[in-house]
Amino acid sequence: MNTITAAITAVGAYVPDFVLSNKVLETMVDTNDEWITTRTGIKERRILKDADKGTSFLAIKAAQDLIAKANIDPLEIDMVIMATATADMPVASTGVFVATEIGATNAFAYDLQAACSSFLYGMSTAAAYIQSGRYKKVLLIGADKMSSIVDYTDRATCIIFGDGGGAVLFEPNYEGLGLQDEYLRSDGVGRDFLKISAGGSLIPTTLETVQNKQHNIIQDGKTVFKYAVTNMADASELILKRNNLTNEDVNWLVPHQANKRIIDATASRMELEDSKVLMNIERYGNTTSATLPLVLSDFEHLFKKGDNIIFAAFGGGFTWGSIYLKWAYDKK
């Protein structure tokens, strides 16, 4: 029997229609377009304005886009992994609801939460299920409604985040394509630097926690930036060395879209030319679990079968890592 590798065979995506530009943010908080652009690379972000729609809506739309483009029967999907930091509700899994809504009723589903590294961790998990030989079609979705946890009077965070969803399908490959190697890490030292403090078992929801805005995301920007630059770059450099890859061997870098300066630092460590570094941060901001699949969707037309792609991400907690994947198809 030939060795099974896990390859991405289809991509889908969805972003809301409403555009929150830097110019609009200037009317909401004490900031300006030049300051935001210089420090983050973000020009605008998409916001899901509907109060009655959550992360599941973004995920369903992204999954439906993939299903339609790939022309697959949802009943053939074996499992659904929902990578998200903004689940619709506690306890009841968002992924389970999404699987049912898209018609993947033969699949089992669950949520995976590792902040901005959720999709990267999900790639590892999906690939392991495929490589086990027990599953043939694993749908990995990354989606977040970050606007639901952002305080739009906090200029440190409201300029960064946006809403969106993306999805990929993993299937068995017998040509040696797909996921080749991974380097994933975490460190609890980051627990207090990027978090939502209330609403969990440690600090349950009370009237006081709501009034104190303890259910909104907060971050120590300088500390997170320092750790992100170091760890994303280190992980990406290590994955190259471990697989005897040079910068010439790498076709594309697909980095988490949190801050253009972090992306630039990672690319610099890898000695990659700008044309190989894929970015859409200027249009979407940081969509957390959705950033990597949104990049894949936006640039899918550039990928060729056999291309060497390096993924890198860093998230709260802290969580981070890098994955080396060989692309499995030419877009029709």
pLDDT, tens digit, 9 for 90 and up, residues 267-319: 999 999 999 999 999 999 999 999 999 999 999 999 999 999 999 999 999 99
pTM value > 0.95: yes
pLDDT averaged over every residue in the chain: 97
Which residues are annotated as catalytic? 116, 256, 286
Judge whether residue 104 has pLDDT over 70: yes
Query: Could you tell me the residue ranges of all domains in the chain?
Result: 5-177, 179-327
Residue 2: its pLDDT value, please?
Answer: 79
Average pLDDT over residues 132-138: 97
Per-residue pLDDT band at 37 (split at 50, 70, 90): very high
Residue 31: its pLDDT value, please?
Answer: 94
* Kind of pairing between the strands at 138-145 and 79-83: parallel
The helix (H) or strand (E) run that includes residue 25 is helix 22-26
Topology agreement, domain 5-177 and domain 179-327 = yes
Average pLDDT over residues 64-93: 98
Fold of 179-327: Peroxisomal Thiolase; Chain A, domain 1 (3.40.47)
For domain 5-177, give the CATH number: 3.40.47.10
Report how far residue 284's alpha carbon sits from residue 20's, in angstroms, rounded to the nearest whole number. Answer: 9
Report how far residue 60's alpha carbon sits from residue 80's, in angstroms, rounded to the nearest whole number. Answer: 11
Q: Render the burial of 154-185: b for 16+ CB within 10 Å, e for the rest.
A: ebebbbbbbbbbbbbbbbbbeeebbbbebbbe
HSE on the CB side for 110, CA within 13 Å? 5
Per-residue pLDDT band at 122 (split at 50, 70, 90): very high
Residue 140: its pLDDT value, please?
Answer: 99
Residue 332: its pLDDT value, please?
Answer: 77
Joined tokens for residue 247: 């910068």
Helical spans, DSSP H, in 178-302: 207-211, 221-242, 260-270, 281-284, 291-299
